[in-house]
Structure formats: C-alpha cells, structure tokens
Amino acid sequence: MIFALRPSERSGRPTLWIPLVRRIREPFKGLWALPGGPLSHSESLPDAASRNLRDTTGLAPSYLEQLYAFGGLHRSPTQRVVSIVYWALVQPTEAALADESENVRWFRADRLGELAFDHNAIIDYALWRLRNKMAYGSIAYHLLGEYFTLAQVREVYEAVLDRELDPANFRRQVKATPEIEETDQYLQGGKHRPPRLYRFTGRPGLDPDNRSTP
Amino acid sequence: MIFALRPSERSGRPTLWIPLVRRIREPFKGLWALPGGPLSHSESLPDAASRNLRDTTGLAPSYLEQLYAFGGLHRSPTQRVVSIVYWALVQPTEAALADESENVRWFRADRLGELAFDHNAIIDYALWRLRNKMAYGSIAYHLLGEYFTLAQVREVYEAVLDRELDPANFRRQVKATPEIEETDQYLQGGKHRPPRLYRFTGRPGLDPDNRSTP
DNA sequence: ATTAGTTCTAGTCAATCTGACTATAACTAC
DNA sequence: GTAGTTATAGTCAGATTGACTAGAACTAAT
C-alpha cells in the first residue's frame, strides 16, 4: 500500500495517489488490487514488503511501516489468506519515475472504484492511519523531498486531511517543532516573494521493525 | 499478551500484571513466555487470540486489539515463525478468577526476568502502545469494572504511566470527556468522604477487526 | 518606472486549555 | 467532639490555538 503526492489534473495542487495492479487471473480477474506477494522463507516482513514494492512498481519508499494483519476467513473466495499489510510513503521525485503500464496504474486515493478482495477496506484503514499519524507525528515530510517550503508542508496536510489550513497559524506550529531546520536557501521562480526552504532532521517512528536505530 | 490490574504486594495500590506460561519443551524449556498457539484454518485472527487466551488462562478479555505481526528471521532458533500478537485488557474481577498453576503465573509488568524468544521486546512494545493509547484514547476504563470512582481511574493512569497526577486537575479532565457518565451511587466503606461512582459509555476503538460495530 | 497581484512572514488579541495551588465538604476513627 | 482522610469545587498564571491584520518581497502588466 503506497502513498505518493501527485498534482491533481484539474487544480494542479498536490493530492494523494496510490498505485494499483490489475489482476490477471482469478479470483477477481480484471479488477484492480493492491500490490503484494508471498513471504519467502528467508526474508523478514519489511524486507518482503520492500521487495514486493520494488518488483511491481520499481519504487523505493522513504518510509515503511506495518499497517495491519488481515486474516478474515472469507477474504479470498478460493482459499484462506492472511495478509500482513505494510504501507509506504514515497517522495515525489521517486513517484515520477515509477513504472506505469497496462497493468500498473496510479489512482487518486479518494476516487477508487471497486477493488479486488477486501482491498477497499484496507485502503480506508490506511487512510485513517495516515491522517491520524499526520495529526500527531512528523510523517508528512516523507512525502516531500529533502528541501521544502512551509507552504508545501501545508499543502501536504491539506491534501491528506482534506481541509484548508490558515497559512500563518500553520507556519507558527511547524516552526515550533524542533525537527524542522531553517536553511539559507530560497525557492526562486514563483510569481511572488520567494519562500525560504526548510529541511526535516527527525527520524522515523519507533516500530518494532526499526526500533534499534537511535 | 494480557494486562490486568492487581494490587501491589507492598503498597496495595493497583499495578500492571501479566500472566505468563512456562515452556515445557525446547526451545527455551523452563523459561516463561507469552501465551499463544497456532492459528487454525477455520478461525479469524481475533477469534484465535481469544481462544488461546481462554485455553491457557481461562480469561475473557474486556478489550482485545491487534498489537503487531512479528516476523524476524531468528525469533525461534529451530524454525521460522511469524507471530501475530494481540493484546488484551481484563477487568479485576475477571483477573481474580484466572487459573494459576505451576506453569501459569502472574508477573508484574515492570519486573520481568529473561523470557523465551523475543517476548521481552514484544512486551516492551505492548507497554509503549498501552501508555500511548492511554494518553489519547479512552482505554483505561476497560481495566476497571462497570462502576468506578474518579480516583480509581487516576490510579489506573498512575500505574500505567508510572507517575503521580494531580487529583483535582485529573478530575476536571475526565469529567470533561462526554463518554463518562455520572451516577447517583456512591462508594461507601472508605474512611473518608464517599466518592461518587461513574460509568463509561463509550465504545472500543475502530480497528479493522471491529469497525462494523457502530 | 510604476502599479497591481500574489504569496510570504511577523504579529496581535481573545478564547481555551493546562498545571499548581487553595479551600471547603463529608465521611470514619478515636 | 475532634483529628485524619479523601472528595470536590474553584482560582490564577502561563501556554496554546484560531481568527485576523499588516507589512515584505517578489513578478507581471501597464
């Protein structure tokens, strides 16, 4: 389950997109589904998630976290399947390089049709978690490049939370977080006062998967 | 992974306890470990967790939530094991009924020796999650009975967070949450002014496991 | 060169929330 | 009665938040 920001076709503002793969066999042949695959005997869970991500879309995530283990009895009509789902954030530069093809395509996270298996429910839950983490933790920066303006951070929040935020108040809050570092660079090229560039110096969260990285 | 409140031997104040089972075969024979067991083909993940809980300790949880899927390559020295761990809260009345025996015993959560497998790390993570959920969500009430005083709620927080809280300020905050309902009952029997009893009217969280219960 | 249009950025102010603290109420034990 | 204990309400200063104002710094059009 991969999230990335891409400009909306209409407004040009960044919105949330996810890549899906088309089922080429039964069950649910022809429907779109989350990328995934089997867990090999010799790889850890996050390794397997990264490999699957790379194999199907060519993407390398800037953030990877376990979402949930889904094990309902009737998730697949043919057999009992337990899926340990991970979710990833990729930066826009990465997302632009992603392989697209007849059977791999990006979709807006808020405009999905009917997907294979219980994947609609999985995405709903992932979106809920993303919004939650965004409200507390410092996760939004993994959807941006190394340098960014405060307005870009605000656009990320607006895209994910789906509501507008007061620019001045948002600045004040972000600037108060110690993990945000001011640089001496400014972003030129806009038709207005050039905004200052910042960078994120924090570390990802502390899951069991990556607890030992202090 | 089960949490319950039991009075400390020394101070008599409630503290966090968890039941462990003794390994009766290799690997780690003789060491204490978290209760658990295999996932059968015909039961969902939360069902399997409840059943294991009941089989080993006789307990029925008042709260059950998925903790994490642990899948490191070397968790067990003999084979590759993926454990989908659930954590549960049980009320004190339940906990008092729990089966204890030579091979099942309660331990204080903050005073554990070396356990089998990676179970020390799992418990650390569960404690971290419990503290986190406590700070935000309304989870503490599942460690109490149906009726409780505000001082009892405070004791739960103090036990889990391991620090003292100002009684007056704590009251103010708890009373402000809409899920707490005042009753007309008072708890008699103390050697001081009898405190009013309250009840919790909220629902558990919204995991994928129990999302459809509005 | 001037002006209009845009966003960036700093700041004010009232409302709300938080933590430290004081004071009274209501019970039991002596 | 009186001392001891916890329950409960309330006050007050400091921090945080949301709505808003205003000047700064750039581009584009005149």
Strand nucleotide closest to residue B168 (CA to C1') = D8
CA distance B124 to chain A (A): 9
- Between helices A150-161 and A167-176, what is the axis angle to 10°? 110
Find residue A107's DSSP bridge partners: A18
Query: What does the pLDDT look like over B118-169, one tens digit per residue?
Result: 999 999 999 999 999 999 889 999 999 999 999 999 999 999 999 999 999 9
Which residue carries 């015909």 as its tokens? Answer: B42
- On the question of pLDDT at B56 being above 60, the answer is yes
Residues 52-81 of B with CB under 8 A from A: 66, 68-73, 80
Q: Residues B65, A127, A35, A116: is their CA dihedral positive or negative? A: positive
Residues with CB under 7 A from strand C: A 149-151, 167-169, 171-172, 175, 186, 190-196; B 166, 168-169, 172-173, 188, 190-194
Report d(CA B178, CA B188) in Å as an integer.
Answer: 26
pLDDT score for A211: 65
Q: Tell which B residues from 132 to 191 touch A, by Cβ distance under 8 Å.
A: none
Query: Which of these, A187, A189, A130, lies nearest to A156 by C-alpha position?
Result: A130
B8, pLDDT greater than 90: no
A212 to chain B: closest CA residue: B121
Q: Where are the alpha helices (DSSP H) in B38-113?
A: 45-57, 92-97
User: Are B99 and B57 spatial neighbours (Cβ–Cβ below 8 Å)?
Assistant: yes
- Spacing of A168 CA from D23 C1' in Å: 14
**pLDDT for residue A212:** 54
Q: Is the pLDDT of residue B208 over 70?
A: yes
pLDDT band at B214 (very low <50, low <70, confident <90, very high): very low
pLDDT for B31-44, tens place per residue?
999 999 999 999 99
CB pair distance less than 8 Å for A43 and B80: no
Does the distance separating the beta carbons of B68 and A66 come in below 8 Å?
Answer: yes
Note whether B39 contacts A72, CB cutoff 8 Å: no
Chain B residues lying within 8 Å of A212, measured CB to CB:
none
Cβ of residue A163 near strand D, that is under 7 Å?
A: no
CB-contacted nucleotides of strand D (7 Å): 4-10, 17-22, 24-28
Give me A13's structure tokens.
């503002």
pLDDT one-digit tens code per residue, B10-36: 788 899 999 999 999 999 999 999 999
Task: Check pLDDT > 50 for residue B75.
Answer: yes
Q: Do B66 and A66 count as a contact with CB atoms less than 8 A apart? A: no
pTM of the model: 0.94
pLDDT of res. B211: 66
Residue bearing tokens 């707490």:
B180
Spans of chain A, pLDDT less than 70 = 211-214
Min Cα separation B87/chain A (Å) = 14
Within 8 A of B70 by CB-CB distance, chain A residues are: 208
Q: Are strands A14-22 and A104-108 parallel, antiparallel or unpaired?
A: antiparallel
A65 token code pair: 């976290």
Spatial contact of B86 and B46, defined as CB atoms under 8 Å apart: yes
Q: What is the pLDDT of residue A214?
A: 36
**How much is the average pLDDT of B71-85?**
96
Residues B182-204 as b/e (b if ≥16 CB within 10 A, e otherwise) read: eeeeeeeeeeeeeeebbbbeeeb
Neighbours of B71 (CB within 10 A): 23
Does at least one atom of strand D sit less than 7 Å from the CB of B121?
no
Question: What average pLDDT does this structure show over B160-180?
Answer: 96
Residue closest to B62 by CA, chosen among B203, B211, B213: B203
Euclidean distance between CA atoms B116 and B74, whole angstroms:
13
> What is the mean predicted confidence (pLDDT) over B54-74?
94
Q: Which residues of B94-123 are buried (b: 16+ CB within 10 A; e: fewer)?
A: bbeebeeeeebebbebeeeeebbbbbebbb
